[in-house]
Amino acid sequence: MGNQKQTIILFDLDGTLTDSAEGVIRSAQYMQEKMGIKKWADEDLKFIVGPPLMKTFTEDFAMDAETAEIAIGHFRERYTTVGLFENRLYPGIEEMLIALRAKGKRLAVATSKKEETAVRILEHFGVAKYFEVIGGDNRAAGRDNKAKVIAYVLEQMKAEKSDVVMVGDRKFDVEGAHAIGIPCISVEYGYGDRAEFIACGADVIVGTTEEVVELF
């Protein structure tokens, strides 16, 4: 390892820095109840963690855009008050961030989660201080997919693409990074798996936070 030369590292949030599945799943079930939809079991809702909500609700729940907007409103009623704290840092995350900063790396977050919610979560866990920029979904500003969020973070950091790498746990991170023209390191401790990473063309696959540090 140790062959990654980039100085700027972007991190996904859900499934990469925090294990947020419980809060996301409970909030999705709350949405189903509010919408009069049959409530799905926890196991059947694991796929919802990570991708943009609009994509999930229109594609996986087969909602039209107008209905999906209402569903997202119900989801956020619960998530922004209770669900965001049904969450935990993965073991070794703070140690990883400290070690990367000690190596002179500039760190940022690029998440499909609503930006203000991402900031609240990272501040709650005491790790917001390690990141120069926390970028997330902001549909009012036109940031409604991973690639747009990544582009926004790069702009804020005045970064050259050749000096940036993404770290994430799902194919959406790889696809978003590649759409912008940067590589992606996929982590197996989150919600994705090796088969998914290979299929979407992940540049590097690692199993632990320690291995992320060793890459640099």
Q: Which residues share a beta bridge with 107?
A: 9
Distance from C-alpha of 121 to C-alpha of 84, rounded to nearest angstrom? 7
Residue closest to 77 by CA, chosen among 108, 104, 50, 53: 53
Reference 36, options 3, 74, 6, 9; nearest CA is 74
Which amino acid, one-letter code, is at 156?
Answer: Q
> Distance between CA 138 and CA 156 in Å, rounded?
15
Q: Is 193 a catalytic residue?
A: no
CB atoms closer than 10 angstroms to residue 126: 10
Contact present, 90 and 189 (Cβ < 8 Å) = yes
SS (H, E, C) 53-117: HHHHHHHHCCCCHHHHHHHHHHHHHHHCCCHHHCCEECCCHHHHHHHHHHCCCEEEEEEEEEHHH
**Single-letter amino acid code for the residue at 180:** I
Q: Which of 12, 19, 137, 169 is catalytic?
A: 12
Q: Please give the positions annotated as active site.
A: 12
